[in-house]
Structure 1
Amino acid sequence: MYNIGYFSLRRPQNNYYKILDIDQQCSLELIEELCLDDLAILDVLIIEESVELNFTNICESLLEIRKKSNIYVLILSDKEQTVFTSQMVYLKLGADGVFSEDADVLDLIVKNILKRIRKETVEKKDQGSSFEMIPKKSCVLINKNQEINLTRQEFLALTILYKKRNETVTYEDIYQGVWGKGPEELQKNRVCNLVSHVRKKFSDVKNSPVQVKTIRSIGYILDTDSYEKEFQY
């Protein structure tokens, strides 16, 4: 499962968005306000140019993105807005590609990128990766040499995800496991914030075995299929 962010202020969405939305290989998240701290959970970011999200806005976003992330960024250009010079500026600022609203072409580009990501994941697997949960200290030992400290609630959330690794864990499951309250009392924003904090603590770890994928509107998956890892208590 790949996470694709689709940054757009236009309504309704174009045909390419609709294609992505039904792709079973992808978890698609429509983004109306770009949060740079959330880039670590994405594999690809698509920015849709429009009157509402214009050349100046996109240039500013690219500058900020490249300060914090090497994520693949594609610009879906608006034929009425983009000229050749603006395409060149996008590329110079770090965009990986600028494309017109041709759904088939952009679909192939994204699939090629995902193949590269898959290859990189396999290479990480070959290198090996491990993590050890240490309940007494509420921390995780990564690759036998790097200790990541977690709060008690963060440690509980990660433990819940691991016990159902490679399976979907709902917001309700995490909320009940961490806060001990039933689904009728669910506060989804608390779960999202907690998982976001866990992700941030592992986002800068090279070859981190902790990969939490978002399952839109349902919850999360701790993906361990892509890694050779040892998990110990």
Structure 2
Amino acid sequence: MTVKILVVEDEKEISDLIEMYLLNEGFEVIMSETGEAALTSLNDQTINLAILDVMLPDYNGFDLCADIRKKYLFPIIMLTAKNTEMDKIHGLTVGADDYVTKPFQPLELMARVKAQLRRDGSYNSQQDKEAGSDDFESRGLKLQYANHQCFVNGHEVNLTPKEFAIIAYLTQHQGQVISSEALFQNVWGESYYEASTNTIMVHIRHIRDKIKAHSPGIEYIKTVWGVGYKFDE
């Protein structure tokens, strides 16, 4: 199956460069210069990953990312000239999976694209190996590991791939306290660094908020201060 990459970038020189490198890697590329055009493309075909510029003529890229996350779970890489820690945290908060700043090396961007696609697939394989086709159920929460679906009291909860990977890992180690370092290394597949704590906290908060909408009185994921997180039995 051909992997389809959506690139939303209004600077022609940059968009042409990204397209050339993606095509050389064998990906099918869908180019959009505006946020509206990107949303239209999503309605017309299945996308495997998106690269979003933050500064678009009709859309703030962060807002576009948030709108995409309302319906789609594929990995999203933000591409922007903004390089502050708060900008990166904001990008992760609205649902981005990675963040590349301009100017960038095209080969680094390609490596990040392939890493996101690989991790998305590897999570599927790893969870299937560990959990088989079994479901997980606890106090109204149900996870279907094989198809990456989460339900709370019969309502489907729309989790991003990394959010699902986090709660899946915690439920597969139910009752155990998982350190932030271990959680980051197993979900992101990267070495832990100081800013990773903020990344974990943002994703945990999103999971809690989405679950509480259908189960306001139950806390499934507990914070063990100074240690990490656990899925409470």
TM bin, normalised by shorter chain, reads 0.3 to 0.5
User: Which TM-score applies when normalising by structure 1?
Assistant: 0.44
Query: Which of 1 and 2 has higher RCO (CA within 8 Å, sep 6+)?
Result: 1
User: Which TM-score applies when normalising by structure 2?
Assistant: 0.44
